[in-house]
Amino acid sequence: MGKRYYCDYCDKTMVASPSIIRTHNKGVVHQKLVSEHYQQYKDPSTILSEESNKKPCVRFARGECQFGGICRFSHYTQEQINTLKQYVAAQDSTKLNANQPSFEDLYQKLQTDKITKSQPNEGTAMYDRNGVTHIFPWVYNPVFDSFGESLPPSLKRLKIDDFINASFTEWG
């Protein structure tokens, strides 16, 4: 039967010859569907900048525009464009009002984080009978303690007693 090409945008299957695929990709229907697909991922400020430069589409207002996303006229009403303007302005004002921490604040936070991480947290250190401290590179989740002994061995909290009479004959 030969190889087939499936277009995700158009939901169509066709013979996988380069000329047929090229003709399909240049088609108006395919370009319209691709444009409509990517339109949903555009930033509101990008949509506003694109649509504010266009004239309103008379055919879209009557419900007759066949071009959809590739129409050179705007399919947004003036009310929708004004709503987009307000939304973009609100986003820009929140970006400007966001308090940026100073370099000194960031440096102090980094230093305090470094100090607190160097000290062992509860659950990351184990003390044996000789008083030697063993610090683990991980942190136990205290939620697992509520399950008791029903946890698999890989999730149980380690105790010194687990290692006293341990015999490792196999790995894996």
Provide the residue ranges of all domains of the chain, joining segments of one domain with +.
Answer: 1-41, 43-95, 120-163
Q: Which residues pair with 13 in a beta bridge?
A: 6
Q: Note the pLDDT of residue 97.
A: 65
Q: Note the pLDDT of residue 118.
A: 55
Point out the residues of the chain with pLDDT beneath 50: none
Select from 135, 152, 132 the least CA-distant residue to 144: 152
Q: Note the pLDDT of residue 112.
A: 83
Q: State pLDDT tens for residues 77-96.
A: 889 899 999 999 988 887 76
- The class that CATH gives domain 1-41 is alpha beta
pTM, full prediction: 0.47
Q: Note the pLDDT of residue 94.
A: 77
